[in-house]
Amino acid sequence: MSDNVFSYGYGGVASVEQRNKVMRNTYWLLALSLLPTVAGAWLGVATGITASLGGGLGLIVFLGGAFGFMFAIEKFKNSAAGVPILLAFTFFMGLMLSRMIAMVLGFKNGSELIMTAFGGTAGVFFVMASLATVIKRSLEGMGKWLMVGAVVLMVGAIINVFVGSSAGMMAISVLAIGIFSLFMLYDLKRIVDGGETNYISATLGLYMSLFNVFQSLLALLGLMGGERD
């Protein structure tokens, strides 16, 4: 087999060029997707449009919007509409995140907490990206266990919305950081191994992991390190 072809355990053969192209396009689109996220978060904080979306109403809007967008992204991932829909989704996610950001900004050290969460998320991504390039064995078997963990986590988070437990939120945040950090590693390894050949799907998976790690870090920092005037 020639040096520019790589056999992988997903039912086919992918060229090195193809894998590098998917990785490159994924990184570019992931970076681009942060711009609408920031814009959505800024709009939400500036206008207070999401301030009333607490409890069950906020949960319904978030889950309905998120799953609707993700369905549309997967449906149009092979067409020209895929990228605009993904960017609209990241704007929506920024808007949904603005409520938590506004709460954290209410702390005296709010801006520092947000930057710390951002730096921590970037650090997690760097570590997972590095691991994905050095781990030789396939991580495909992790997928089903991570999905189970994500479902359990989502159920726990939904219950805690109505319970309103700070200890529960801390536990959920810690678990979310662990689960979505591993999701990050899993998705990056699939690109490296040639298991993911669509950069829009790859970006969606990585974006969701980054979003959840950042949100969970921010929640933890706010609960543990928020300084009130």
Tokens of 135: 């781990």
Residue count of the chain, please give it: 229
Tens digit of pLDDT for each residue in 90-140?
999 999 999 999 999 999 898 999 999 999 999 999 999 999 999 988 888
Alpha helices (H) along 7-81: 16-47, 55-75
The alpha carbon of residue 119 and the mean position of all alpha carbons in its chain are separated, in whole angstroms, by 15
**The predicted structure's pLDDT at residue 55:** 66
- Enter the pTM of the model: 0.88
Structural element, H or E, at residue 13: strand 12-15
The alpha carbon of residue 88 and the mean position of all alpha carbons in its chain are separated, in whole angstroms, by 15
Q: What is the dihedral of CA 47, 39, 69, 96, to 10 degrees?
A: -40
Say which range, 16-25, 36-45, 157-166, 211-220, has the weakest mean pLDDT.
157-166
Tokens of 131: 């691991």
Confidence check: pLDDT of 12 > 90: no
**The predicted structure's pLDDT at residue 148:** 94
**The predicted structure's pLDDT at residue 120:** 96
**The predicted structure's pLDDT at residue 62:** 86
Tens digit of pLDDT for each residue in 192-201?
988 888 999 9
- Distance, CA of 74 to CA of 70 (rounded, Å): 6
Answer left, alpha or beta for residue 226, where phi above 0 means left and psi between -120 and 50 means alpha. Answer: beta
- Is the Cβ–Cβ distance between 82 and 69 less than 8 Å? no
- Distance, CA of 218 to CA of 228 (rounded, Å): 16
Structural element, H or E, at residue 201: helix 199-225
**The predicted structure's pLDDT at residue 164:** 79
- Is the Cβ–Cβ distance between 218 and 30 less than 8 Å? no
- Distance, CA of 76 to CA of 104 (rounded, Å): 36
Determine the residue type at 227: E
Tokens of 217: 């870090």
Nearest to 89 by CA among 75, 68, 60: 68
